[in-house]
Structure 1
Amino acid sequence: MNNINPPIFIVGAPRSGTTLLQYMLKSHPEISLPTGESHFFIPIYQRHAEFGDLKVKENLKFLLTEIYNARPDFFDDDFHGIKFDINILSDQLHALKTSTIPDVISTIFQMNATAEHKKYWGEKTPYYILHLPLIKEMFPNARIVHIIRDGRDCAISMLERRWDLRIYNIYHAAYTWNKYVRSGKDFGINNPDCYFEIKYTNLLNSPHKSLKALCKFLNIEYNESIINFERSNESGKTPLLTRPLQANNTQKWRNHMSIKELQIFEAMAGSTLTEYGYELSNPCASISKFNHLVYEAHIKLCDIYFNFFRN
């Protein structure tokens, strides 16, 4: 049953607008998107040898147990079509003769979509952008949607949630943003037919145009419900999900980043910013070897603190 309908993966650097795009697309009458993030696709797939022959029902049950235990809150709170009942699902999947981990995942998500009366299933976990070749191996006809936001604005938002995201300073934020965006770009160069980039600024400033282009890429008819998407009342979600789109939610870095922070960020990620058309405040920005060492040491110390006192 794997990939009867092409799955949709929303990816991007942290705080790039992936959640906003997730809620917009899930409002389309044909697209099912859980409201959380799965996180388990890659680690479970990398453990495939542990699960043995999935045609054996007990092995299938073991796999389903590990999938559920990896993200119980995701399946209990964010999966809105079916209940993740291991016994029922193992019976259904066994009857369908699913024999691979991607088949199992795809079938469960497709069941969830069907229960929501939708045709396509999708998923939003930003860090999957670092594993897109593996995602394509798992789901050969997957459609990858990469949302890109000015990294300096991402950095401000990342550092507001530094302990949640474990991104501790401007150097760390620049490195992370650059790594994520370059990973997506490199994949897209080699896989142009299944990869689509959408800029956060365009999504806010010209949503109809941007989303019509996205729907064309997905080969799905555009529907106004994407613009008039269902808002979230959850306090933990991004504020943009509780109010209309705000075109001015850009270039926050001009008022919220110091000259030193801008210098560090642009020294680390300036070429990628320029490639995507973002104006640099200092095209000649550089970072000394000493500052590299100081920021790296700070990251390690914060990790030690997190592991011993906050975890």
Structure 2
Amino acid sequence: MTMQPPIFIVGAPRSGTTLLQYMLRSHPDISLPTGESHFIVPLLKHAHEYGDLSQLENIRRVLARMYQQSANFLETDLHGLKFEIDKLAETFHQEGRHTMPAIISGLFEKNAAGEGASIWGDKTPYYVLHMPLLRQHFPGCRFIHLIRDGRDCALSMFQRRHDFGVYNTFFAAKYWEIYVEIGRQTGKGLGIKIYHEIRYEDLLERPEATMRDLCAFLNVQFHDSLINFKKSGEAGKTPLLQKPLQRDNRQKWRSRMTPRQILLFERAVGPTLQDCGYPLTTDATPLPLPVRAFWHLHNRLAHQYYRLRGATR
């Protein structure tokens, strides 16, 4: 089976990338692990630290580092391959996979082959900040950037504030904006054949049309399985993945944010919200520098406080 260039699903945290991952992996030609790799960008950036990758032992070191960083992903989220360091290292060595991209591709390609798919992909949201690096090392790869109303992203981030280090509305807004703006700006440079944007709200409201457009971008045939996707049976996964598409899972910020939070969020990133097609409810006058500095300081101090207390959730 000839493998096609990879697909990367990227975006700001809590933007619905896991939902899109489960929908897209239901396509018979596409293999997407059910977790997030996290090791691809670090390994590419530090490839020089592993020496000559034509040496079997150095390939083994790379695989060991993958496991050290993402053991759960490698043990539970690859559904077409059993991750065995020694066996894989020997196979990659024999196949002449002597560069970091070749080793990484080898892992995902063998997992895809085990699932009967011809395209491998990965969903790790923060890779949106590293698309040029990925494009450099995986020629032909394509990016799907999922964008969600930042006000709903903020609500979701607050539920995991210690994971993201987000402790106030202003910081949540800027956190969201960085991912969205870098992704969109980079995407413009990559072009429409390489970069594709989807709004989370469109995915919920018009799932078939949205997925048909995505299939056209990926040059694959549309399948009904993309809409009636296989749900997650794991309680630890996003709860909404255990149900059909929830078309009302949007604009929760209108009832769950206070008027003060909405005002602060919109004043922090109003132009970005509007550029992404999300209307404002306030005049969104830009915040003065001292106010912005205060909220940055507040978040830094809160982060230090909870870290000293050993908070994890």
Q: TM exceeds 0.5?
A: yes
Task: Tell me whether 1:223 sits opposite 2:223 in the alignment.
Answer: yes
Alignment deviations for residues 208-262 of structure 1 (CA, whole Å, 9 cap, x no partner) = 1000000110011111111011111323322221111122211111111122211
- TM-score of the superposition, structure 1-length normalised? 0.96
Q: Deviations over 1:156-202 (max 9, x none)?
A: 11111111222221111101111111111011110112000011111
Inter-partner Cα distance in structure 2 for 1:284 and 1:120: 44
Q: Who is 2:311 aligned against?
A: 310
Q: What SS class does the counterpart of residue 4 from structure 2 fall into?
A: coil
Within a 5 Å distance, the mapping from 1:4-153 to structure 2 comes to 4-153=3-152
Question: Does structure 2 retain, via aligned residues, the 8 Å contact 1:64–1:86?
Answer: yes
- Between 162-171 and 197-206, report the one with greater CA deviation: 162-171
TM-score by length of 2: 0.95
Q: In the alignment, residue 55 of structure 2 is paired with which amino acid?
A: V
Amino acid at match of 1:310: A
- Does the CA contact (< 8 Å) of 1:11 and 1:128 recur in 2? yes
Aligned residue type for 2:272:
T
Contact 1:263 1:286 (8 Å CA) reproduced? no
Q: Distance in 1 between matches of 2:233 and 2:202?
A: 25
- Matched to 1:220, the amino acid is V
Quote the RMSD (CA, aligned, Å): 1.5
- Partner of 1:44: helix, strand, or coil? helix
SS in 1 for 2:5: coil
Partner of 1:249: 249
% of aligned pairs identical? 45
C-alpha contact 2:205 2:247 (8 A) present in aligned 1: yes
In structure 2, C-alpha distance between the alignment counterparts of 1:56 and 1:302, rounded to whole Å: 47
State the Cα distance separating 1:4 from its structure 2 match.
4.3
Q: Which residue of 2 aligns with 1:170?
A: 169
Equivalent pair of 1:23/1:230 in contact (CA under 8 Å): yes
Query: What secondary structure does 1:7 align onto?
Result: strand
Aligned residues: 310
Indicate the residue corresponding to 2:292 in structure 1. Answer: 292
In the alignment, residue 203 of structure 1 is paired with which amino acid? L
Distance 1:223 1:161 in 2: 34
The reply to whether residue 212 of structure 1 matches residue 212 of structure 2 is yes
- Structure 1 window deviating more from structure 2 (277-286 vs 131-140): it is 277-286
Q: Structure 2 CA distance, aligned partners of 1:190 and 1:288?
A: 32
Q: Secondary structure at the match of 2:86?
A: helix
More off after superposition, 284-293 vs 156-165: 284-293
Q: Which runs of 4+ in 1 moved over 6 A?
A: none
Counterparts of 1:223 and 1:132, CA distance in 2: 28
Question: Aligned residue for 2:185?
Answer: 186
Q: Following TM superposition, by how much is the alpha carbon of 1:135 offset from its aligned partner in structure 2, in angstroms?
A: 1.1
Q: Which runs of 5+ in 1 are unaligned?
A: none
Q: Does 1:201 align with 2:201?
A: yes
Give ranges in structure 2 of 5+ residues lacking alignment.
none
8 Å CA contact 2:21, 2:32 repeated in 1: yes
Distance 1:76 1:169 in 2: 35
Q: Do the aligned partners of 1:151 and 1:174 also contact (CA within 8 Å) in 2?
A: yes
Map of 2:239 onto structure 1: 239
